[in-house]
Structure 1
Amino acid sequence: MSKIDKRNRLNEEPFDYQITKKGTVVIYYEDKQIKIIEDKEAESLISRIKEVEDNITALQLLLAKITGNFKRGNEKIGKNKRK
């Protein structure tokens, strides 16, 4: 079992990306926009995406690492927040 993806979430392909005409990269998680990458960082990311394009798991892992730790498991608490 891989230590990176213990629950096999990346096999479900939750991440997607779009490269715009301006050269920015928009990253989506489950069809929700979560990050926009611009300038030199976008150029670097585009070249890295092209390297792993044919390996779906590697592409998903790359996008997951770029987005960082945006989900911490406490997202539902915000709905029930005390006033």
Structure 2
Amino acid sequence: MGGPADGFEYVRRADGSVIITHHGRVAATLRGGRAAEFLAEVDDDPQLVMARWTGNYRHGNERVARQHPRNKG
């Protein structure tokens, strides 16, 4: 299937928003609570997290769903 998610970068702006780019093109702009939630999660696996948040999630290289913190419990 697809290769590893790659080419994502993000910039945290002074107004608290987050701009996510993919190969130099803006893929998403997050503001408010969504930006804070993204920043809390991005330290885990930055490329994979940015791929999920932008909807550019390559099926086949994801972590197993049961390993995700949201699904532990």
Q: Please give the TM-score of this superposition, normalised by the length of structure 2.
A: 0.67
Structure 1 residues 33-72: aligned runs within 5 Å = 33-49=26-42, 51-52=43-44, 58-69=45-56
**RMSD (Å) for aligned C-alpha atoms:** 1.8
After superposition, what is the alpha-carbon deviation per residue over 1:19-77, rounded to whole angstroms, capped at 9, x for unaligned? 0001111000101112100010101111112x32xxxxx2111000000149xxxxxxx
Runs ≥4 residues deviating over 3 A = none
Q: Please give the TM-score of this superposition, normalised by the length of structure 1.
A: 0.60
2:10 aligned partner = 17
Runs (5+) with no aligned partner, structure 1: 1-5, 53-57, 71-83
How many residues were matched structurally? Answer: 57
Give the greater-gyration-radius structure (CA): 1
Q: Among 8, 23, 28, which residue is 1:30 paired with?
A: 23
Greater relative CO (CA pairs within 8 A, separation 6+): 2
Name the structure where helix makes up a greater proportion of residues: 1
1:74 aligned partner = none
Runs (5+) with no aligned partner, structure 2: 58-73
1:8 aligned partner = 3
